[in-house]
Structure 1
């Protein structure tokens, strides 16, 4: 689920955004609504939102000051709300990397478009969560210990998982392939800060996301190619980890 925080000093606008926006359409929920920049910063630090909708001009801290303070602490998408007379702030907002710059009075469809764009960026980040660290094996990433033969065992295990992803892979099968005990293989993955099952799920969902982005296969075909024979279960797992259903994810990338 995508967590949204709203920061706006105008009560009617703030409450209208909370109540009238169809958050479930974006796989999102509002986790807080602040009436000032400082309150917004405190809520953001507490709840770690994925999207912040921020009024650009508020008493005390402005929306731009809020974003400047938080962008080094949060990996989030920012949607700015601005009055017609505040275009001079647009360039600074762009330099801060805001996702969208919306004019007041706020149009519902403009906000919906901004949320769809923000959701797409968030999905991409979640799919590539480990992309900045670890070893890359066929597009999959894992923090590997430096010593041998531990590194070699893990590389072999991951390659086997990638090559046989469509099959019902078990930890015992992979352990046998490596000539290891099941308990020792579990310990190797634990040393990387994950588990065998969690990493296998990550591999499968990463492949599923790639197929949904780059192809037009039916959802059941994507599920089967990633090792899920039950399409309903695949959709449930995908939504749990990605915040949206596979059909919604594909729809968003085509917008």
Structure 2
């Protein structure tokens, strides 16, 4: 989910932005609102927002002061709000790398377009970050599409599954991690000819198979490490998908499971 912080000394404008912007359409949520530049800086340091909507002219620290202080601390996108008489600030705002420069009174469609653009920039940044770490992910039996950012989203999802194998993993949790809707994440896996739950089961059972082959841990310990707290249920699922019981697999009957498990 994309986290948004609003910094504006005008209460009515703050409230209007919070209430009238369709945040869910962009996979975003407002995590805070501040009435001054200093309060905004403190909230930003605490909650680490992805997008900041900042009024350029406020008592005390201006919006430009806020951005100048935070730009070295946060990987964030900034949307500036400015009055008609403040065009002289535009060049400074551009120099600070703001995502959008909007004039007041705000147009709802222009604000929505700016938020969408900022959210897209954040997602692109996340994709590149996770692609840089993608060499650590072993993607098995997942036919990844070539186009971006779809490929990056799927790699990120798989990496999350691999890293949190022992925990209860839900599609909602992974979708939130990627800043996507649940329905869109389901569609991404469907494009690869599988489903989220099927691929998660595949990941868990292949990890279990690796642990059975390479170590001598108890079956219940392997089950727990792969996200199954009920050992009997784990054995049942393992046999259904792999064709043999975990103990048989361990004792060298790999010849029965050379083919990939069914989806």
**Count of aligned positions:** 251
Shift of 1:116: 1.0
> Aligned-pair RMSD on alpha carbons?
17.6
CA 1:217 to 1:43, structure 2 compared with 1: closer, same or farther past 3 Å?
A: farther
Partners in 2 of 1:178 and 1:23 — Cα distance? 16
Asked if 2 retains the 8 angstrom alpha-carbon contact of 1:38 and 1:66, the reply is: yes
When Rg is computed on C-alpha atoms for both structures, the one with the higher figure is: 2
Q: Deviations over 1:164-192 (max 9, x none)?
A: 99999999999999999999999999999
Shift of 1:40: 0.2
Q: Deviations over 1:15-55 (max 9, x none)?
A: 11011111111111100000000000000000000100000
Counterpart position of 1:137: 137
SS class of match (2:54)? strand
Counterpart position of 1:87: 87
Asked if 2 retains the 8 angstrom alpha-carbon contact of 1:135 and 1:143, the reply is: no
CA 1:148 to 1:84, structure 2 compared with 1: closer, same or farther past 3 Å?
A: closer
Q: TM (normalized to structure 2)?
A: 0.53
Partners in 2 of 1:250 and 1:25 — Cα distance? 49
Asked if 2 retains the 8 angstrom alpha-carbon contact of 1:77 and 1:99, the reply is: yes
CA 1:171 to 1:204, structure 2 compared with 1: closer, same or farther past 3 Å?
A: same
CA 1:129 to 1:35, structure 2 compared with 1: closer, same or farther past 3 Å?
A: same
Shift of 1:4: 0.4
CA 1:116 to 1:186, structure 2 compared with 1: closer, same or farther past 3 Å?
A: closer
Q: Deviations over 1:206-235 (max 9, x none)?
A: 999999999999999999999999999999
CA 1:61 to 1:146, structure 2 compared with 1: closer, same or farther past 3 Å?
A: same
Deviating 4+ runs (over 4 angstroms): 131-251
